[in-house]
Amino acid sequence: MRRENMAEKKLISDLVAGCKKGDNECFSQIVDLYSGRLYNYFYGISGNHDLAGELLGELFLKLVEKIGGYRGENFDGWLFRIASNLFYDSLRKKKRQKQLLEKKKALEMISLKEKPKSDTEMADKIQRQLQKLDPETSELLLMRYYSGLSFADLAQARNEPIGTTLSKVHRGLKKLRELMESDND
């Protein structure tokens, strides 16, 4: 397990070194490695496939700009922090928050009418409940899940004490469970 982790770190380190030199192939491999997790992260917080795709594209273009400033910290944490900033920037700049709220309301209406029956529907249901959480909480939960960062790294990426991060995650997960349970009733 540890050896796999070391090999993964080495791979990322080599790819990042190549990216710093402007190697197209290394960027391409980074896209292959991270696009899935990041797409899920963006989709999780936005609930919109188009927006998730758009943000994913913006993120990798940002990576070209910012890779020179990467100083060897946890790459996943660094990348997800850029992703998080990008998401909040997009909310501020394009005033999408209103659209997201409208989308949330629409999803809530759908959830009242439909009851999930299969695993897929269960997964969709979680997505809907995530949308009901405030954007910061759902973003935190998704970041923790898809970045795979430890609480310590997560707190560092968010520039807050570890206790604060842990409390927020706890409250967020508890709220998510409550929403799921209330939806079952």
Partner 1 sequence: MIEKNEKFENTDELIEKIFLDQNIESIKKDIKIGDELMKSRQDLQPPAEIVSNIKKQLGIALAARRVFSWNRVLVKAAAAAAIIILGFAIFTYDRPVIKKPDLAVIETSDETAADLLESWDTLEHQADAQIATLSLEIERLASTIIALELENANADNGAVSGLLDEFELELIETETTFWKG
Per-residue contact flags (x/-) with partner 1 for residues 62 to 81, judged by CB under 8 A: --x-----------x-----
Q: Which residues contact 70 (CB under 8 A, 6 or more apart)?
A: 16, 20, 78
> Under the criterion CB under 8 A, does residue 166 sit at the interface with partner 1?
yes
Q: How far apart are CA 79 and CA 77, in angstroms?
A: 5
Question: With respect to partner 1, which residue has the nearer C-beta, 98 or 174?
Answer: 174
Question: With respect to partner 1, which residue has the nearer C-beta, 68 or 72?
Answer: 68
Q: Which stretch binds partner 1 (CB under 8 A): 1-9, 84-92, 98-106, 108-116?
A: 1-9
Q: Which stretch binds partner 1 (CB under 8 A): 37-45, 80-88, 89-97, 106-114?
A: 37-45
> Under the criterion CB under 8 A, does residue 185 sit at the interface with partner 1?
no
Q: How far apart are CA 153 and CA 125, in angstroms?
A: 29
Looking up tokens 């391409």 gives: 28
Estimate to the nearest angstrom the gap between the alpha carbon of 75 and the chain centroid.
Answer: 14
Q: Which stretch binds partner 1 (CB under 8 A): 80-88, 90-98, 100-108, 166-174?
A: 166-174
| The two structure tokens encoding residue 96 | 């999408």
E strand or H helix at 127: helix 119-132
> Under the criterion CB under 8 A, does residue 24 sit at the interface with partner 1?
yes
| The two structure tokens encoding residue 28 | 């391409």
Looking up tokens 């206790």 gives: 163
Q: How far apart are CA 182 and CA 163, in angstroms?
A: 28
Q: Pick the closest to residue 41 from 148, 167, 125 (CA basis).
A: 148
Question: With respect to partner 1, which residue has the nearer C-beta, 64 or 98?
Answer: 64
Number of residues forming the site for partner 1 (CB under 8 A)? 55
Q: How far apart are CA 56 and CA 87, in angstroms?
A: 10
> Under the criterion CB under 8 A, does residue 97 sit at the interface with partner 1?
no
> Under the criterion CB under 8 A, does residue 88 sit at the interface with partner 1?
no
Site residues, partner 1 (CB under 8 A): 1, 5, 8, 22, 24, 27-28, 31-37, 39-40, 43-44, 49, 52-53, 56-57, 60-61, 64, 76, 119-120, 122-124, 126-127, 130, 141, 145-152, 162-163, 166, 169-170, 172-174, 176-177, 180
